[in-house]
Amino acid sequence: MKVTLNRAVFIQELATVQRAISTKTTIPILTGVKIELKESGLVLTGSNADISIETILDKDNEKAGMDIASTGAIVLQARFFSEIVRKLPEDTFTLEVIENNQVSITSGKANFIVNGLDADNYPHLPIVERTNEMTLSVELLNQLISETVFAVSQHESRPILTGVHFVLENQKLLAVATDSHRLSQRIIPMEQGGAFNIVIPGKSLVELSRSLGDKEEDVEISIMENQVLFKTKNMLFYSRLLEGNYPDTNRLIPTSFDTEIEFNVPSFLAAIERASLLSHEGRNNIVRLSITEENVILYGNSPEVGKVEEDLNYEKITGEPLDISFNPDYMKAALRAFGDMSITIKFISPVRPFTLEPAEGQGDFIQLITPVRTN
Amino acid sequence: MKVTLNRAVFIQELATVQRAISTKTTIPILTGVKIELKESGLVLTGSNADISIETILDKDNEKAGMDIASTGAIVLQARFFSEIVRKLPEDTFTLEVIENNQVSITSGKANFIVNGLDADNYPHLPIVERTNEMTLSVELLNQLISETVFAVSQHESRPILTGVHFVLENQKLLAVATDSHRLSQRIIPMEQGGAFNIVIPGKSLVELSRSLGDKEEDVEISIMENQVLFKTKNMLFYSRLLEGNYPDTNRLIPTSFDTEIEFNVPSFLAAIERASLLSHEGRNNIVRLSITEENVILYGNSPEVGKVEEDLNYEKITGEPLDISFNPDYMKAALRAFGDMSITIKFISPVRPFTLEPAEGQGDFIQLITPVRTN
């Protein structure tokens, strides 16, 4: 195996597969990146227990300016190899397997000889049977992830809740996440048919979103027995699926309310952030929202440190006065998922979950937060 | 005490004194910032066991737009207070001591009430007797610090070596630091007279340099019994001095050599960084420089991981061939202190310390590195 190519292009490919490579794995070969040189181009692979990433650099890629002298494959310790390539002196470099799995890395007058591992010992990636296929744009998939993944549980006590539940049926794709204190659900109409019901680990989705970046292209999604594959033109991203039944979240979302208030998100978020400064100092981490006929006031309080109150700007109120307490961190995460828009928060009572929706929405994006009882 | 002023200007002042405020102090009041409102303006003070910083915001400062309703003083928990001020909604805010050392912080419709501490209980800063005064420009002082402070010892086994030794005599200011493995010394001609011999903790100098920033002004330096004061127009920076005798470093610097080589710093530094990638993986962290009549080669080696060799570009060689090993981290730090210039490295033998000097220098900036014996 021998190839000369552009260093910056290679570094970018390597950085993508490195998202799947952990230095803390118990399987030594998985700390490595598999480098495979084919007639068609260069394939890099990184893998851990949860995800695997494969990138394909086409031999005709102009920026890469690849000169393939001979094909072959090798596994190199990823972190260390990446540091070397980053520090090489010239714009291009040459990678050559010499003997005994040793690799020569040359650029300008600098020459490294590093020990690699036999690529035949690298684990095989799952075989894709191409069932239940679906196509989404990168932009829509990233939006779906960012609108739900923050609400997955961070605790392994109920592993199924650490994933996002994706359900495709009746030409609708539903994505929902909940940690049992709050919930976020997005529904997207689909032109394609098909049906599936899977739970993808939240951590996999975060890495997927980072790997996709903001490319303007489509992602093909294939589902296997216990794996899902996201495929773009130059990348294959595999994630394991979570096993088990996801709870029925639909019955959690209330449909009739007694108090509704409309806020501008950035201004309400800034007030929540101020109030949470004090709630974070206290033991309970709660803030209180008081809605009366005269005004809407947000209170934060910590007996040792002090208190804050703020007369909030709002856009519209209907219904009954209400006094409700909640964890401001759930509210902050919920508001950030909406971005710069107006939302309607709908309440039933101080002890029942309340919903948040875009003011202009038609129920396709809804969030739920459980309040904290204070007496 | 009541004042209204510009929030961004206040945040900047607070950030400066916060450099002296630790959250881990055993004296609770020192986690606070002392806020003193005088007829002349606003004085903030932060302090820890090593340094104290006082900033003065003049009442006539245009950007601050200060409206002083009444004078007074209070101590507020610095980290928490700073977070509050950063998150306030408007461009200005009002600070008012209300009662029982409680402070009201108001901006727009947000109002915080936080618990403060009695400013009378805040420790007094050292009294300056204005002896041994000296004036340097901020630029020169920062240069002096950056050229020496990296070489101080990081270990408390010989506390005196954790500081930089400053000696003023015969209209020359000498600054020298060593951790006994390497040394860096700068001499500056002074127009003023006077004489002193002090050791300032390296950590204090790093904070001083950060606090001074790149302002175009002068720093007045006053030395007291066990303190040094750096004074600019709007800031007083106090540091404790290290007690004890600094070793005589002058006799360590050799004066005759057998091999001299001239390198361009950025290109040599890049090669050292590449070689250190491998030395860092090994047990000894050494690289080897081989100077022969034909070429100059740098070697890095780690039995488990691999090796690197690089045929170096150099500008000039005189003297005998040489094979010498050293810690590349010392070399990297030394080279970074020179910046983008050409330097001459002068050797006696593989076991004797070697010197590094600007190729165009007259002995006013010199560094020393002790090699590692490999047999």
Interface test with A, best of B97, B113, B269 (most A CBs within 10 A): B113
Nearest to B181 by CA among B358, B359, B354, B324: B354
The Cα–Cα gap between A178 and A180 comes to 5
Q: What is the pLDDT of residue B130?
A: 66
CB B340 within 8 A of CB B311: no
The Cα–Cα gap between A363 and A375 comes to 33
Burial-class residue B359 by CB neighbours within 10 Å (0-12, 13-18, 19+). Answer: middle
CB B141 within 8 A of CB B237: no
Residues of chain A with C-beta less than 8 angstroms from the C-beta of B311? 109
In this predicted model, which residue has the larger pLDDT, A133 or A33?
A33
Q: B114 CA to chain A: closest CA distance, Å?
A: 4
- B113–A contact, CB cutoff 8 A: yes
Average pLDDT of A122-146? Answer: 87
Put simply, the answer to whether A114 touches B273 (Cβ < 8 Å) is no
Task: Cite the residue boundaries of each domain of chain B with CATH code 3.10.150.10.
Answer: 2-121, 135-250
What is the fold of A253-369? Proliferating Cell Nuclear Antigen (3.70.10)
Name the closest residue on chain A to residue B107, using Cα atoms: A310
- A303: Cβ–Cβ under 8 A, 6 or more apart, which residues? A282
- What tokens appear for B44 in the block? 């903030």
Interface test with A, best of B95, B114, B264, B276 (most A CBs within 10 A): B114
- A304–B contact, CB cutoff 8 A: yes
Q: What is the pLDDT of residue B102?
A: 96
CB A85 within 8 A of CB A7: yes
The Cα–Cα gap between B223 and A145 comes to 60
Query: pLDDT band at A240, cuts 50/70/90?
Result: very high
- B359–A contact, CB cutoff 8 A: no
Name the closest residue on chain A to residue B108, using Cα atoms: A310
Put simply, the answer to whether B109 touches A311 (Cβ < 8 Å) is yes
Put simply, the answer to whether A113 touches B307 (Cβ < 8 Å) is yes
| A147 has a pLDDT exceeding 70 | yes
The Cα–Cα gap between A341 and A135 comes to 28
Query: Residue B172: how many CB atoms within 10 A of its CB?
Result: 12
Nearest to B261 by CA among B359, B163, B329, B368: B359
Residues of chain A with C-beta less than 8 angstroms from the C-beta of B113? 306-308
Q: What is the pLDDT of residue B304?
A: 84
The Cα–Cα gap between B331 and B258 comes to 20
Residues of chain A with C-beta less than 8 angstroms from the C-beta of B111? 308-310
In this predicted model, which residue has the larger pLDDT, A282 or A68?
A68
A-B contacts at Cβ under 8 angstroms: 82
Residues of chain B with C-beta less than 8 angstroms from the C-beta of A307? 112-113
Q: B131 CA to chain A: closest CA distance, Å?
A: 43
- B102–A contact, CB cutoff 8 A: yes
> What CATH code would you report for B254-369?
3.70.10.10
Query: Residue A101: how many CB atoms within 10 A of its CB?
Result: 15
The pairing of strands A227-231 and A218-223 is: antiparallel
Q: What is the pLDDT of residue A131?
A: 63
Q: What is the pLDDT of residue A209?
A: 97
| CATH 3.10.150.10 for domain B135-250 | yes
Q: B39 CA to chain A: closest CA distance, Å?
A: 28
Q: Which of A87, A115, A270 sits opposite B305 (nearest CB)?
A: A115
Q: A289 CA to chain B: closest CA distance, Å?
A: 14
Q: Which of A111, A277, A281 sits opposite B310 (nearest CB)?
A: A111
Packing angle, helices B7-18 and B78-87, rounded to 10:
160
Name the closest residue on chain B to residue A76, using Cα atoms: B305
Put simply, the answer to whether B109 touches A313 (Cβ < 8 Å) is yes
Mean residue pLDDT across chain A: 94
Interface test with A, best of B105, B296, B308 (most A CBs within 10 A): B308
CB B239 within 8 A of CB B228: yes
Residue window 255-274, chain A: list those with CB within 8 Å of chain B.
270-271, 273-274
Put simply, the answer to whether A115 touches B312 (Cβ < 8 Å) is no
What is the fold of A134-250? DNA Polymerase III; Chain A, domain 2 (3.10.150)
The Cα–Cα gap between B76 and A83 comes to 45
Q: Which residues of B13-30 are buried (b: 16+ CB within 10 A; e: fewer)?
A: bbebbbbbbbeeeeeebb
Q: A311 CA to chain B: closest CA distance, Å?
A: 6
Average pLDDT of A70-99? Answer: 96
CB A1 within 8 A of CB A95: yes
pLDDT digits (tens, 9 = 90+) for A261-308: 999 999 999 999 999 998 888 788 999 999 998 899 999 998 888 999
Task: Cite the residue boundaries of each domain of chain A with CATH code 3.70.10.10.
Answer: 253-369
Q: What is the largest CA-CA distance in chain A?
A: 81
Q: What does each C-alpha distance from A59 to A64, A69, B285 come to in angstroms?
A: 8, 12, 39
DSSP state string for B247-258: P--GGGS----S
Q: With the CA atoms of B216, B222, B228 and B233 taken in that order, what torsion angle do they form, in degrees rounded to the nearest 10? A: -30
CB B345 within 8 A of CB B355: yes
Check residue A63 and report its DSSP letter.
Answer: T
- B109–A contact, CB cutoff 8 A: yes
Name the closest residue on chain A to residue B112, using Cα atoms: A308
Q: What is the pLDDT of residue A215?
A: 86
CB B53 within 8 A of CB B17: yes
Query: Residue A256: how many CB atoms within 10 A of its CB?
Result: 6
Q: What is the pLDDT of residue B363?
A: 82
Per-residue pLDDT of chain B (375 residues; tens, 9 = 90+): 999 999 999 999 999 999 999 988 888 999 999 999 999 999 999 999 899 999 999 999 999 999 999 999 999 999 999 999 999 999 999 999 998 999 999 999 999 999 999 999 999 988 877 666 789 999 999 999 999 999 999 999 999 999 999 999 999 999 999 999 999 999 999 988 888 999 999 999 999 999 998 889 999 999 988 999 999 999 999 999 999 999 999 999 999 999 999 999 999 999 999 999 988 887 889 999 999 988 999 999 988 889 999 999 999 999 999 999 999 999 999 999 999 999 999 999 999 999 999 999 788 999 999 999 987
Q: Which of A87, A88, A310 sits opposite B111 (nearest CB)?
A: A310
| A61 has a pLDDT exceeding 90 | yes
Q: A280 CA to chain B: closest CA distance, Å?
A: 10
Task: Cite the residue boundaries of each domain of chain A with CATH code 3.10.150.10.
Answer: 2-121, 134-250
Q: Which of B110, B270, B313 sits opposite A310 (nearest CB)?
A: B110
Average pLDDT of A113-132? Answer: 86
Average pLDDT of A330-358? Answer: 97
| A132 has a pLDDT exceeding 80 | no
CB B132 within 8 A of CB B193: no
Q: What is the pLDDT of residue A261?
A: 97
Element (H, E) at A139: helix A138-148
Residue window 77-96, chain B: list those with CB within 8 Å of chain A.
77, 80, 83-84, 87-89
Name the closest residue on chain B to residue A90, using Cα atoms: B270
Average pLDDT of A157-184? Answer: 96
Interface test with A, best of B274, B280, B298 (most A CBs within 10 A): B274
- B305–A contact, CB cutoff 8 A: yes
What architecture does CATH give domain B2-121? Answer: Roll (3.10)
